[in-house]
Amino acid sequence: MIVRGEVFDTALDIEISGGNPRVLVLNRFYLPVHITSVKRAVSLLYMDIAVGVDHEYQTYSWEQLLDGDLDNDKSSSFYFLRTVHRDVPIPKVVVLNEFDRRPPQNVKFSRAQVFMRDRFTCQYCAKTLPKQKLNIDHVVPRVAGGKTIWENVVTSCHPCNRRKGGRTPAQAGMHLLTHPHKPSVSPLFNALKQINAVWKPFLFQNESSERFE
């Protein structure tokens, strides 16, 4: 028989396959508010602060996770924590029981967020590159009064940045892949939905515009 404390202690020295697994945290309205570690998620479940949820929106208390057997078709919604007795399913998504925190309504502007919004892809030549080989380009140059705001900056590679110089794309004979915009949610969530398919139904999505702690 597995007891609550045994799994909690095991989580302190967690052994889960798949690198550095993360868990999506939702508020009680099923809106994403945070991304956390499996260890922290186990703590939330153990203390009854949260319950797990699978891709079919079925919820699981800590006791149910310890005692219940999962259907094979639901295994993709869980990591598996190895204990002496058996593997215990740990949900990839948890829902807070009481916390009503809402996601931030304003996305903070930063160089990293712009890169993530544009998926580390130069908006002129379409090359996807590491951040060390990317710059922030002002569509309307600063010398022409262009502002450093979401709607006027894009990711560019160094060669395209030099080619464009202090000109507009039209003046430089260059074309933008997409029009810059302010994301309605942190680009992090939109990138992560490509990484963890189980999270996708729970993340903010705006399919009309492509956008990435």
Maximum CA extent, the chain: 72
- 67 and 147 share a domain? no
Instruction: Please identify which residue in the block is written with the tokens 């309605």.
Output: 184
In a domain, residue 178? The reply is: no
- 57 and 96 share a domain? yes
By the 8 A CB rule, do 35 and 190 touch?
no
pTM for the model: 0.56
pLDDT at 154: 97
Q: State the total domains in the chain.
A: 2
In a domain, residue 138? The reply is: yes
| CATH, residue 124 | 1.10.30.50
Spatial distance between the Cα atoms of 116 and 211, rounded to a whole number of angstroms: 7
Residue 211's domain spans which residues? 1-105+185-213
**Most confident listed range (34-38, 95-99, 130-134):** 130-134
- 17 and 97 share a domain? yes
In a domain, residue 177? The reply is: no
Bigger pLDDT: 53 or 20? 53
pLDDT at 182: 86
Give the confidence band of 206 by pLDDT, cuts at 50, 70, 90: very low
3-state SS, residue 123: coil
Identify which of 84, 94, 80 has the alpha carbon closest to the alpha carbon of residue 49. 94
Spatial distance between the Cα atoms of 155 and 129, rounded to a whole number of angstroms: 10
Spatial distance between the Cα atoms of 156 and 118, rounded to a whole number of angstroms: 9
Tens digits of residue pLDDT in 113-146: 899 889 899 999 999 999 899 999 999 999 999 9
In a domain, residue 5? The reply is: yes
Bridge partner residues of 50 (DSSP): 96
Bridge partner residues of 24 (DSSP): 35, 93
Identify which of 14, 182, 189 has the alpha carbon closest to the alpha carbon of residue 88. 14
- 161 and 62 share a domain? no
In a domain, residue 195? The reply is: yes
- Rg over CA atoms, the chain: 22
- 189 and 156 share a domain? no
Percent of the chain with pLDDT over 70: 75
- 126 and 56 share a domain? no
